[in-house]
Chain A
Amino acid sequence: MNTAFRRIIFLIILVIAWELGYRMFQWGWKFPSPLQTYQAFYDGFTKGNLLEATLSSLRRLLISFVLAIGIGTLLGFLFARFRYFDETFGFLVVALQTVPSIAWLPFAIIWFGLNDTSVIFITTIGATWTMSMASRTGIMNISAIHLRAARMMGTGSGFRMFFQVMLPAAFPHLITGVRVAWAFAWRALTAGELIARGLGLGQTLQDSRSIGDTATILCVVIIIAVIGTLSDHLCFKRLEDRIMLRYGLDSAKR
Chain B
Amino acid sequence: MIEINNVSKVFKQRKGEPYTVLDQVSFHVERGQFVSLLGPSGCGKSTLLNLIAGFETSYEGSITVNGQSITSPGPDRVVVFQEHGLFPWLTVLDNVAFGLKQRGLSKKARYELAYEQIKAVHLSKFVERYPHELSGGMKQRVAIARALVMDPEILLMDEPFAALDEQTRYILQKDLEEIWQKTRKTILFITHNIREAILLSERVLVMSTQPGRIRQEFSVQAARPHALEDPLIHSLETRILAVLTDELDKIVQGEIDHEYSI
What is A's interface to B at a CB cutoff of 8 Å? 143, 145-146, 148-155, 160, 164-165, 168-169, 171, 246-248
**Interface of chain B, main secondary structure:** loop
Considering the chains assembled together, what is the distance between the CA atoms of A190 and B98 in angstroms?
Answer: 45
Most buried by A among B55, B75, B78, B88: B88
**Interface of chain A, main secondary structure:** helix
Considering the chains assembled together, what is the distance between the CA atoms of A155 and B102 in angstroms?
Answer: 6
- Inter-subunit contact B131/A152 (CB<8 Å): no
Q: Sorted from nearest, which 8 A-B pairs have the closest CB atoms?
A: A248-B132, A153-B99, A154-B102, A145-B85, A152-B73, A149-B85, A168-B89, A247-B88
B53 on the A face (CB < 8 A): yes
Known: A148-B55, A153-B99, A248-B131. A169 touches B89 (CB 8 A): yes
- Inter-subunit contact A153/B150 (CB<8 Å): yes
Most buried by B among A149, A150, A169, A246: A149
B79 on the A face (CB < 8 A): yes
Considering the chains assembled together, what is the distance between the CA atoms of A151 and B98 in angstroms?
Answer: 11
Which residues of B lie under 8 Å from residue A145 when comparing CB positions?
Answer: 81, 83, 85
Give B75's nearest chain A residue, CB to CB: A154
Which residues of A lie under 8 Å from residue B78 when comparing CB positions?
Answer: 152-153
B42 on the A face (CB < 8 A): no
- Inter-subunit contact B87/A165 (CB<8 Å): yes
Give A251's nearest chain B residue, CB to CB: B132
Which residues of B lie under 8 Å from residue A247 when comparing CB positions?
Answer: 88-89, 130, 132
Can you list 9 A-B pairs, Cβ within 8 angstroms, ordered by A?
A148-B79, A148-B81, A148-B85, A149-B85, A151-B72, A152-B79, A153-B78, A153-B146, A246-B130
Give B99's nearest chain A residue, CB to CB: A153
- Inter-subunit contact B130/A153 (CB<8 Å): no
Which residues of A lie under 8 Å from residue B146 when comparing CB positions?
Answer: 153
Considering the chains assembled together, what is the distance between the CA atoms of A165 and B88 in angstroms?
Answer: 10
Which residues 72-114 of B have a CB within 8 angstroms of A? 72-75, 77-79, 81, 83, 85-89, 98-99, 101-103
B246 on the A face (CB < 8 A): no
B116 on the A face (CB < 8 A): no
Which residues of A lie under 8 Å from residue B98 when comparing CB positions?
Answer: 150, 153, 164
Give the shortest distance, in Å, between B249 (CB) and chain A (any CB).
32
B128 on the A face (CB < 8 A): no
B133 on the A face (CB < 8 A): yes
Give the shortest distance, in Å, between A143 (CB) and chain B (any CB).
8
Give A155's nearest chain B residue, CB to CB: B102
Which residues of B lie under 8 Å from residue A154 when comparing CB positions?
Answer: 74-75, 99, 102-103
Give A246's nearest chain B residue, CB to CB: B130
Give B78's nearest chain A residue, CB to CB: A152
- Inter-subunit contact A169/B87 (CB<8 Å): yes
